[in-house]
Structure 1
Amino acid sequence: MAAMSYLSVIERYHEFEPLVHELLESILTGIGDPQLFHEGQMDLKAVADVAGSYPFVELIYLLDSDGRQVSQNIALVNRKIKLIPQGRNADRSQRPYFLNLEDEAGGYVTRPYLSHATGGLCISASRAIYRQDAQLGILVVDVNLTRLIEFMMGDSARRRVTPLFKGVYATIVLGLFVLVALLLTTALTDIYQLLTTAREHQDPLQPFGIIIFITLALAIFDLGKTILEEEVLMHKDIFRHSSTRRTITRFVATILIAISIEALLTMFKASLGEKQYVEPAIWMMLAVVGLLVGLGAYVYLGAKAEWLLIKTAAYKSSRGSPGSQV
């Protein structure tokens, strides 16, 4: 449950690009009032609602018709307005949100880029402000793209409690690793006893017990590693079926490996004369086959279902896009 990677953010942006542009244009329309340019000072009342309603907005500032910034930067931090004097009189005439605005009737939204201020992915939206037929200037809004995607997907609240989830998962993984250490300690102790005990006093089945301890340690370690990677270190997109399918596949694969090794060891015991282990070994082998078949069916059907969802979404998008209607 780490933060969204840049690849995930850009992928989601392209998926929701028309909606993102529509949302930003509505924000510009809502606050794009000529009073913003009253005596060259930003009207803070006009952007107060933006700070409370849109947590993804990072910066708001004004440009004149030549692309020079005529206001100080208004940063929206934790839904509160913070004035930053830097930026006034800066020449932004070469920025895309100024150069390309002439080609847009309503406003212009840039492609995603890395912000110099925050280092994260950002997009900027601009709109020319008019009074009657005279252009007063240009309103520019900088947006944190990651937070915007989370806001549109209704994922902001979950992200706020993500550190708590990470802490719980990390504690569980720590407990599993402690158990692995205990199993390995037991196995090493048994190996030492096996090497120091006279051959005539050794139990022929003792090596199999050691292998069982090591196998359990391997399975538990692999399970803890999977939880650590999936829930703490990596970003997990709960809105995609492939993410959940990946976690379940890795979990079941860990169980399959452990059961397969145990079934093989049980079969070896039976071959050494312990006939009572024949039936349990056969049932464990059948359980492995059943899990393997079930996992294969789950992965295939899950991938097919996701492919159908993607095709359906693409079809709906093409039907609703301009120019697709005959």
Structure 2
Amino acid sequence: MKEAVVIFKHNRTIIENFLRSTIELNELDEINKENSKIVFKLLSSLELSYMVDNDYKQITPYFFKDKIDTTTYGLSKGQLFSKINIESDTIFISNPYISSHTGNMCITAAKSVENGFIIFDFNLINVLKSLSLIELNKPFNALSKLMYGAIGSFLFLMAIVLLGYAVKIIIESVFMGGFFKEIGSIFTPIIAITLALAIYDLAKTILEREVFYKNYTELDDAEDKVLRKFLTSIIIALSIEALMVVFKVTLSDDFSQMTYALYLILGIASLIISMGVYRRFVTNLKND
């Protein structure tokens, strides 16, 4: 969950010192079939451990709490270590990420040893719980995840419905000959597609961040980006609507209705100004 990553960022020094001291105090310089059970008892938050040699070739199986996986034995892990520098007698601690082996949010500790490196994958939530930095209520979390999943899925369905509606209008207008006669038949599909895009982005963000936890990069401004994209789509849709109203009034020669178009344009202008002020405020806040 995003909150766990934020807590990690705010307490990074405490967490890193805790993991380093735990590994060093227990003198964990090797993991094998004989001592793996003991290692997992000593490190309650540990999910996975293995060793690689100095060329980053895996020299032990994957050791889990309740199983041993030998499928990746002998494979090179060079791509995982190419961007980090682990000095002798030090322990490297990674940023939080989604483990491809367990599907949980974890942090990796890599310790330099005599014949290579020993790797420890810790469950982030369990580490935070060990340090009393977080308290979880599993039933509530499950319900929250279910609700977010249902809402995100419904929004995704609505985006598909809007897209289908736009396609339906275009097909009907083309085959019935109204595409070039009625101005609404041109702009209505564009508005529907724009709104579908905005709703799809919102649904995608909800599902990724609250249900699937796919992406945790740039957490500080992720919501800001989603808000800007959503508002931009709404402004585009309203601008097209205002343009359509102006065209309809002009073609009908009933200029008494132009007041409504003016109100709509003023509303759009206020949205643009508000978004500009908001962006300036956010930028200044980041710079400070």
Q: TM-score range by the shorter chain?
A: 0.5 to 0.7
Distance 1:72-1:259 versus aligned 2 partners, 3 A rule? closer
Aligned to 2:49: 59
Deviations 1:179-206 (A, max 9, x none): 321233134313433359xxxxxxx9x6
Is 1:288 matched up with 2:263? no
Deviations 1:27-56 (A, max 9, x none): 21453389x99xx94273453252xx314x
TM-score, with normalisation over the residues of structure 2?
Answer: 0.63
Aligned to 1:317: none
| Alpha-carbon distance between aligned partners in 1 of 2:143 and 2:60, rounded to the nearest angstrom | 30
One-letter code of the match for 1:190?
Answer: S
Distance 1:140-1:15 versus aligned 2 partners, 3 A rule? farther
Distance 1:275-1:87 versus aligned 2 partners, 3 A rule? closer
- Deviation of 1:254 (Å): 0.4
| Alpha-carbon distance between aligned partners in 2 of 1:86 and 1:125, rounded to the nearest angstrom | 23
Distance 1:163-1:302 versus aligned 2 partners, 3 A rule? same
Contact 2:191 2:240 in 1 (8 A): no
Contact 2:239 2:265 in 1 (8 A): yes
| Alpha-carbon distance between aligned partners in 2 of 1:267 and 1:99, rounded to the nearest angstrom | 68
| Alpha-carbon distance between aligned partners in 1 of 2:240 and 2:120, rounded to the nearest angstrom | 53
Aligned to 2:76: none
Residue of structure 2 aligned with 1:302, choices 270, 282, 287: 282
Distance 1:259-1:167 versus aligned 2 partners, 3 A rule? same
Residue of structure 2 aligned with 1:255, choices 226, 230, 234: 234
Is 1:42 matched up with 2:45? no
| Alpha-carbon distance between aligned partners in 1 of 2:275 and 2:183, rounded to the nearest angstrom | 29
Matches within 5 A, 1:117-266: 122-125=108-111, 141-144=118-121, 148=124, 165=148, 168-194=151-177, 207-227=182-202, 229-232=204-207, 235=214, 237=216, 240-266=219-245
One-letter code of the match for 2:190?
Answer: T
Contact 1:183 1:214 in 2 (8 A): yes
| Alpha-carbon distance between aligned partners in 1 of 2:163 and 2:157, rounded to the nearest angstrom | 10
Contact 2:49 2:63 in 1 (8 A): yes
Residue of structure 2 aligned with 1:31, choices 11, 26, 29: 26
Contact 1:97 1:109 in 2 (8 A): no
- Deviation of 1:264 (Å): 1.1
| Alpha-carbon distance between aligned partners in 1 of 2:69 and 2:167, rounded to the nearest angstrom | 58
- Partner SS state of residue 305, structure 1: helix
- Deviation of 1:230 (Å): 3.2
- Partner SS state of residue 207, structure 1: coil
- Deviation of 1:207 (Å): 1.4
Larger radius of gyration: 1
Aligned to 1:109: 91
Aligned to 2:88: 100
Distance 1:85-1:240 versus aligned 2 partners, 3 A rule? closer
Distance 1:187-1:301 versus aligned 2 partners, 3 A rule? same
TM-score, with normalisation over the residues of structure 1?
Answer: 0.57
Aligned to 1:75: 63
- Deviation of 1:257 (Å): 0.2
State how many pairs are aligned. 250
Gaps of 5+ in 1: 4-8, 64-70, 89-94, 102-107, 128-136, 197-203, 309-326
One-letter code of the match for 2:236?
Answer: I
One-letter code of the match for 1:218?
Answer: I
Aligned to 2:254: 274
Contact 1:21 1:109 in 2 (8 A): no
Aligned to 1:22: 17
Aligned to 1:92: none
CA RMSD, 1 decimal = 5.2
One-letter code of the match for 1:58?
Answer: L
- Partner SS state of residue 245, structure 1: helix
